[in-house]
Structure formats: C-alpha cells, structure tokens
Chains A and B, each alone.
Chain A
Amino acid sequence: MTLLDEIRTGDARTAGISTSHASAERAAPAILSPAPAVSIAGALNAALRDALAADSNVVVFGEDVGPLGGVFRITDALHAEFGEDRVWDSPLAESGIVGTAIGMAMYGLRPVIEMQFDAFSYPAFEQITSHLAKMRNRTKGRVTLPIVIRIPYAGGIGGVEHHSDSSEAYWTHTPGLTVVSPSNPADAYSMLREAIESDDPVIFLEPKSRYWAKDAVELPVHTAPMTRAVVLRAGTDVTLLAYGPTVKTALHAAELGAEEGLSVEVVDLRSLSPFDDETVGASVRKTSRAAVIHEAAQFGGYGAEVAARVTERQFFHLAAPVLRITGFDIPFPSPKLEEHYLPTAERVLAALDTWEW
C-alpha cells in the first residue's frame, strides 16, 4: 500500500496525519510548557476552522471535503462543527466548483474551495483564467472575487498519474491571481488566514509531501505577510530560492554545503505572484550567486521567470549565471521512479559545483 493509498483509504495514523484534534492543539498552554507540535495539515485545518468562526460569509466546499474531511483530512471535522450550509460536498466537477464559487463571491460569500489534487484543477482552467482572474479588471474593480482555491500539489507521496503535478507556472502567468505556497505549519496557518481575508482570488498551493511536517507552534499565529519572501537561513556564498516542497530540499542542501565549508542562504519565496524582488534582490546582492529549485519541469517554468528577474535586476552583482534545479522536461513519472525526478539536496550541490566558484 502506497502512502497515497493509505491517505485515500482513510488510514490517517499510518499515513502520518496528526490525529490530534485542532481543538486540543489550540488549547491554552500551561505556563512555560512548550508549544504543541503542529503539522501543516493541522495548521491548515485550524486556519479554516478559525476563518469559518470569524466570518459567516466564509464557506468551504468541494469534493469530499464534508463528512470525510477531505482526502488529506484538511477539512477534518469542519462539516460536523459548522454544518451543511457552511461546509459541504459538491458534485464531482472542478469547473463547476470554481464557476459556482465565482457566483457566490459575486453575492458576498468568501468561498474556500479544494481541487483535491493538482492535475484535477485542469478542468477548471477556463473558469480560473477567463473569469476568476479577470473579473475585477473587466468590471473596473466593481466586482471583486475573494476566493481561495486550495490545491494540494507536487509529488513525493507516491501518487499515481495526475496526482503529483506542479501547476504553478500556469497560475503565475495569469494576471489577476495571487499565487502562494507555504512550507511550514506557522506559515500554513497565517498565509491561509490572510488568503481568505484577501479581496483578490488566491491560488493556495499546499505541498502535499510536507502535510505531516511538524513544528512547535502556538496557534493562532501571524507570520510575515503572505506576499513577502523570508530568509530562512543566512549565508554569504549563494542564495537558494525555493518554495513549498523544495524549501526542505534547500535547507538540507544548506546543511550539506556547510559541511563542505559553503555558506548557503535559503530564501523561502512563499509568494510566487507577486514576486518579492526586494527580499530576493537584497539576498543576491549579498551572495552574488543564486539558484532556484522547483519540482515542475524546467522549460517555460517558474524558475525561468525567477532567473530572468534576478538577472535583469542584479546583473552587476552576479558572479555567475542564475541556475535552475528542477524536474525534468517530462510528464511526472510513476511512483517508483519519482525519486529520480525530484530535485534533491545532492543535485542542488552538484549544480552549484558547475559554477566552479
């Protein structure tokens, strides 16, 4: 049984999903007791619960998000707590989910919808690119669409075909959308709350291979604004630019690099659109070298935009070309071969060696 099978058959324990209820996670801590360990999945669940409680216009719907609590249990227990009119299962149709969310938002609701798996968002491509992204613009700001589309995305969980895509380049290439991806539980909570409060549509990419990564976090938590990048680890020799699932890869590479005497700075982009030129630029000016890491295929990918922006703006501070460490230009491979596709820390360090410093 693959990890994905375990998730889909609901064996949360073996799948590593936190079985503690968010209410326990949110319980007031005893004085001086350490903050509880919270997973990204748990933090997202808590963010949805708190958003539903804070604003009666927030609704959650999509495939299997009701009594089941979502295939990844991100909406666990919300249906029971908030009822059928706030959290409900939709028919199985992604264009319908996005299209009806648009109409709901026109009437004042703030829908948070789930695409279940990355590649399952493609049937909704027209609604997202032709309507969701453009409605504000075509109506001169008279119609706003405060909709969050949660997309469990990318690989690393042994998913079968169509369950491991990285679709960020499609969304970031679409003006009108905000595209963000958290990499840790604190950001997962804070960024989702901020995304739900945003008056603009937000594509919220959840790195599914990191759903069960835990940190000690006291919720609710407010981290940096979701449109800003954050320096997670300071260094002087090279800047690694990562987001979502590859942040862990970058931090791992930084540790391995340190063993070799390399001082690696890791920037978690957090927001893919808008791009935080300021934070990235400051880092690159300090280190003179930059590499971007993502799981999506390289050609025409998001890394190309990052490399171009950094080159255009920091050319005279750069000592070497901006590198891309990415997936190959192939459809995402089968579960037993994905380890050969996904960027690793070793692959990152090998790429940095091509600079010959």
Chain B
Amino acid sequence: MSNDVLVPAPPTLPTHKPIRLIDETGRAVTGTQTAGFRMPDTDTLLSLYRRMVLARRFEAQVTALTRQGRLATYPSALGQEACEIASVAALAQQDWLFPTYRDTIALLTRGVSPVEILSFFRGDWHTGFDPHAHRISPQSTPLATQALHAVGLATAAKLKQDDTVALTFLGDGSTSEGDAHEAFNFASVWQAPVVFVIQNNQYAISVPYSKQSRARTLADRAIGYGMPGYYVDGNDVAAMYAVVTAAVERARAGHGPTLIEGLTYRMEAHTNSDDPTRYRETSETAGWLDHDPIDRVEKHLDRAGALTTAVRASIAAEAEALATATRDAMNETPVLDPLEVFDHVYSAARPALLEQRAFLANELAHTDTREAGAA
C-alpha cells in the first residue's frame, strides 16, 4: 500500500472546548469555539432538522413496540440525533456507512425501510437489508470490529482509484477495544479515506466515561495516530455537519482519515433490559434536556424565520406517517422459513448441511401433522 499522499497532522491537540456553531438558545456561535468552521446554510439546517424529527418519532414508536413485545430489543439513540443524522447527511451516495447496533436512525436516514431495518431487532434475520444496495454494512454488535471493515473497504476503494469514503461510528466504550486502536492505526498508516465518528454518549451500558478513559477527550487520541482529531459538541447538528463534511471532503481528496468525537448523551436506557437508575441520577439526565439537539436547531431556524406553520405541519405529518407505517409493518406477523437457516452459510451446498436441513424438514412435517391431528 503506497502512501503517496502524506499530509502532516495538525501540530496541536484538539481544542479543549467542543466546537460549536449554535448555542442552546439557538444563536450562532462566534469566535474560537467555531474553530473556523462555517454555519451550514438554512436549507441544509432545515433538512437536518426534518430528518432529526422523523428519527425521534420513529424511535419513540419503535420503543413503544419493544415494550409491547413486538421487538426482541431496541437500543435507542434518543438525544444522539445530531451525531447520527449530521454524519449520514455528510456522505455522498457512493460512500459506505459502518454502523453499530445503536445507529438505526442513521440507516433510516440513509433510506433503508423500517421493515428492512427492524427485522434485525424483531428477530427475523440478523440483517434485513442488502448492504450493497444501501452501502451500509450490517449493524455491528461486537465493539469496534466494524471500524476495521471500514478501513479495509476504504483502502480497497483507494486501490481501485474510486472516490468512495467510509464512515464508521464508534461509542465511547468501544474505544477501549483493541480493534479501535488497530483501525485508527491502519487507517493512518494506509492513508485510508475513512472518517471515524465517536459518539461519546458518556455510558458504556452502565460504566461512565470517567471509568472508561482518563484521556481529556477521545479526540486527543488522533494526534498519536498521526491524523487530525476534532472535539465537537455532538448535540449541535450544525457543528457536527460542518466538521464531518470537512472530514469526508478531506478523505475524498486523498488526505487520509479523520477522528471526530461528538460529545453527546444517551437519554434512554442502553436497551429495554437495562435499568439506568442503578448507575446515574435522574437529575443528570434531566439536565441534558437543556442541551437537546432538536430543540437547539429548532430555535435557530425559528429565529431565521424558516420554520413556518406550514413547514412544521408538513414535518409533523411526515413523522406521523412514518410512525404509522412502522407500527403497521411491525404488527404484522412475519412469515419465516425455518429451512432457510441452512441456505446462506456457504456459497455451495454441503452434504452435511443438506442432511441437517432434511432432518429439520422432516421434523417440521411431523410437527404440522401432529398439530393438524390435535386440531
């Protein structure tokens, strides 16, 4: 792998204060805290806002369905919409996304249908969508492993001289895994067109950041790998969009990887089997309501006069339609073929698996007969 493009990393550590473009009151931030990044135009912000509202409504519906037992589990990203949506919005169609199990709304925003996404959490099949059709890898449950896949794919694209960029999400907890280190290092050594977005939502299930890392910021780590790092207010969709877009452009131009830490907060439990009251004060969670990512850009757009009554109504109607469609789809009982479990293990049939398939087919046939007899 030739490293023909060698761009020196910035000589300084990321700024101590997270990069922001919009504050909690919706006002534009000026001064050093913008780190020279420019505010996206109003149309872009409106588009990001709309997608965040849709995503939040979608997750509220899915969480309700999970509580009703329609889904096996669901890891909510409530509160993390800015990180998720800004990152995906910064990608071009030919780019690839490498998500974790929590990044469902990123898939939704990239155009995967609710049924294709949720079949994973409903328990129909491990991945319900076609990765090649959407340029999204399966949602990774093992931690940080998908970051290496992103580096590999981006490297292959570079070898083929395509202008494809790979973006991978990581959580704060997953940065403790060895694969995170290997991914950062490989990407930098190979100057792979990769963007690492760490969503620091402060908890790895129950373990707070203070027990995960002593690093001042996770973005600080970038300099040790020889790549630029940015510490961003992850609840500021404008800042996240500006920084991720710059990183994607940098990667596409052949200047290698970038590490971005979005400082955010997971408002909900890890999954429905988690009890967050055991490990954090409810006052802490409530305090983050002041930092809500949707609320902030909404105030900003309101000030700009972009959120007319008609626009609000249109977005609200779209969100309700999405929730209804999701609810209807998930209330249908999926028809699954038990014998399909043997069909995708290898590219060619194997005698031993055909034997086991026939065994299960026979068992199913007798089960049907018994049930018919009992009825």
Residues on A lying within 8 angstroms of B by beta carbon are 59, 61, 84-85, 88, 90-91, 93, 95-96, 98-109, 123, 126-127, 130-131, 134-144, 175-176, 178, 198-200, 274-275, 277-278
Name which residue of chain A comes closest to B350, CB basis: A274
In contact, A108 and B156 (Cβ under 8 angstroms): yes
- Knowing A106-B131, A141-B344, A178-B346, the reply to whether A91 touches B186 (Cβ < 8 A) is yes
In contact, B142 and A130 (Cβ under 8 angstroms): yes
In contact, B346 and A100 (Cβ under 8 angstroms): no
Name which residue of chain A comes closest to B126, CB basis: A138
In contact, A99 and B345 (Cβ under 8 angstroms): no
In contact, B182 and A200 (Cβ under 8 angstroms): no
B212 at the interface (CB under 8 A from A): no
- Knowing A99-B149, A141-B343, the reply to whether A93 touches B127 (Cβ < 8 A) is no
CA distance A126 to B125 in the complex (A): 21
Residues of B within 8 A of A178 (CB): 346
In contact, A103 and B150 (Cβ under 8 angstroms): yes
B309 at the interface (CB under 8 A from A): no
B34 at the interface (CB under 8 A from A): no
Whole-angstrom distance between the Cβ of A252 and the nearest chain B Cβ: 31
Residues of B within 8 A of A95 (CB): 148, 178-179, 182
CA distance A137 to B346 in the complex (A): 8
CA distance A106 to B152 in the complex (A): 9
B160 at the interface (CB under 8 A from A): yes
Other A-B contacts than A99-B148, A107-B152, A127-B179, 19 sampled, CB-CB below 8 A, are A91-B185, A95-B179, A96-B148, A99-B183, A103-B152, A103-B154, A104-B155, A107-B153, A107-B160, A126-B145, A131-B145, A139-B130, A139-B344, A140-B340, A141-B347, A143-B131, A199-B347, A200-B346, A274-B352
- Knowing A91-B185, A96-B182, the reply to whether A144 touches B352 (Cβ < 8 A) is no
B151 at the interface (CB under 8 A from A): yes
In contact, A200 and B153 (Cβ under 8 angstroms): no
Name which residue of chain B comes closest to A96, CB basis: B182
Closest CB pairs A-B (n = 3): A103-B152, A99-B148, A100-B152
In contact, B186 and A90 (Cβ under 8 angstroms): yes
Q: B156 is contacted by which of A103, A131, A200 (Cβ under 8 Å)?
A: A103
Whole-angstrom distance between the Cβ of A64 and the nearest chain B Cβ: 14
Residue interface bits B183-197, CB-to-A below 8 A is 1, else 0: 101100100000000
- Knowing A91-B186, A131-B145, the reply to whether A277 touches B351 (Cβ < 8 A) is yes
Whole-angstrom distance between the Cβ of B196 and the nearest chain A Cβ: 14
CA distance A126 to B179 in the complex (A): 10
- Knowing A96-B186, A99-B179, A140-B125, the reply to whether A107 touches B156 (Cβ < 8 A) is yes
Whole-angstrom distance between the Cβ of A354 and the nearest chain B Cβ: 30
Name which residue of chain A comes closest to B120, CB basis: A138
CA distance A109 to B149 in the complex (A): 13
Whole-angstrom distance between the Cβ of A176 and the nearest chain B Cβ: 6
In contact, B145 and A99 (Cβ under 8 angstroms): yes
B214 at the interface (CB under 8 A from A): no
Residues of B within 8 A of A176 (CB): 345-346
Name which residue of chain A comes closest to B192, CB basis: A100
In contact, A275 and B352 (Cβ under 8 angstroms): yes
Whole-angstrom distance between the Cβ of A129 and the nearest chain B Cβ: 10
In contact, A126 and B142 (Cβ under 8 angstroms): yes
Name which residue of chain A comes closest to B181, CB basis: A93
Residues of A within 8 A of B160 (CB): 107-108
Residue interface bits B352-365, CB-to-A below 8 A is 1, else 0: 10000000000000
In contact, B344 and A140 (Cβ under 8 angstroms): yes
Residues of B within 8 A of A88 (CB): 1
Residues of A within 8 A of B183 (CB): 96, 99
Residues of B within 8 A of A175 (CB): 345
CA distance A278 to B355 in the complex (A): 13
In contact, A103 and B352 (Cβ under 8 angstroms): no
